[in-house]
């Protein structure tokens, strides 16, 4: 009789716990442990030192080490040529194309937000190159010095960056911004990357490339940032503001460390989603 009562009691407690979890999970704005006051800290990735060719990340609950891969020449030619072509469209006062290297389609999987039944997510993110560590101060000074120049002159500055990309930029990462996540609201991409930092980026274009990456999220108010992290945040925000205007605040930054590269171009027997090795 006591055993039946204990089992019944346990079942009642279990049902009550499940009911509480279901109620909490329906709250889209449920607070998480990611935020301290007005900043977050991503505990699942360690930022590599400048020049380090590996990154440590906790993926699927296990700490693992991933080797970083440089972009092959085919990727760099496509990326820089398409970016320079986009600048020419702006000079002619034409609308930008949606296809190309700026708009990365980012797939993530981590946890379910309160308004969904799925952990998977897909979102289009603005992408760009991240400077080599020793080049960041020089490029920050260039952007600051020309910030108030005429629009056409600023396009010339951006073209200079793309024409010298292999000299100026790290070839194993892409930078982006997390524009919308705050303590009161978190995007699904943010939640997924904070929980499980693997992220796959596909570019809609021909040729088409896919990057498998580890996403490192950095908040500008984090007091534990090192100097390298602060400089990357400063550059990604500055180059965004340089073109789009100054929004008056710095946004959270996402550095995508590239671990695998694939050629997704249709119609070529050497592509079709096959992995590309460093050249």
| pLDDT tens-digit map of 218-248 | 999 999 999 999 999 999 999 999 988 876 7
| pLDDT tens-digit map of 179-216 | 999 998 999 999 999 999 999 999 999 999 999 999 99
147: pLDDT strictly greater than 50? yes
| Greater model confidence, 150 or 29 | 150
Long-range contacts of 229-235 (CB under 8 A, 24+ apart): 229/47, 231/133, 231/136, 231/137, 231/140, 232/130, 232/136, 232/175, 234/136, 234/140, 235/130, 235/131, 235/136, 235/139, 235/140, 235/143, 235/175
The domains of the chain, with CATH numbers, are 30-275 (2.30.110.10)
Instruction: Output the pLDDT for position 3.
Output: 42
Candidates 59, 54, 70; CA nearest to 198 is 59
Angle among Cα 201, 242, 50 to the nearest 5 degrees reads 55
Spatial separation of the C-alpha atoms in residues 153 and 159, rounded to whole Å: 10
pTM of the model: 0.87
Instruction: Output the pLDDT for position 271.
Output: 62
CB atoms under 10 Å from CB of 198, counted, come to 20
Spatial separation of the C-alpha atoms in residues 101 and 83, rounded to whole Å: 7
């Amino acid at each position: 009789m006591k055993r039946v009562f204990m089992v019944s009691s346990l079942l009642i407690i279990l049902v009550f716990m499940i009911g509480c979890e279901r109620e909490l999970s329906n709250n889209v704005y449920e607070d998480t442990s990611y935020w301290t006051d007005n900043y977050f800290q991503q505990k699942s990735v360690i930022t590599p030192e400048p020049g380090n060719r590996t990154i440590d990340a906790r993926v699927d609950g296990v700490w693992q080490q991933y080797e970083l891969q440089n972009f092959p020449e085919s990727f760099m030619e496509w990326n820089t040529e398409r970016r320079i072509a986009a600048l020419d469209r702006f000079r002619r006062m034409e609308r930008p194309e949606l296809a190309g290297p700026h708009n990365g389609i980012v797939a993530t999987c981590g946890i379910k937000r309160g308004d969904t039944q799925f952990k998977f997510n897909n979102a289009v993110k603005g992408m760009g190159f991240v400077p080599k560590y020793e080049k960041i101060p020089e490029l920050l000074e260039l952007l600051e010095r020309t910030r108030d120049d005429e629009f056409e002159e600023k396009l010339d500055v951006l073209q200079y960056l793309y024409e010298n990309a292999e000299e100026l930029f790290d070839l194993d990462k892409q930078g982006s911004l997390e524009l919308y996540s705050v303590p009161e609201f978190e995007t699904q991409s943010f939640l997924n990357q904070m929980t499980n930092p693997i992220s796959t980026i596909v570019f809609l274009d021909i040729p088409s490339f896919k990057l498998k990456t580890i996403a490192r999220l950095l908040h500008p108010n984090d007091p534990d940032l090192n100097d390298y992290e602060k400089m990357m945040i400063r550059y990604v925000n500055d180059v965004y503001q340089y073109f789009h205007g100054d929004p008056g605040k710095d946004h959270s930054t996402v550095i995508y460390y590239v671990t695998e590269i694939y050629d997704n171009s249709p119609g070529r027997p050497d592509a079709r989603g096959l992995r590309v090795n460093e050249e």
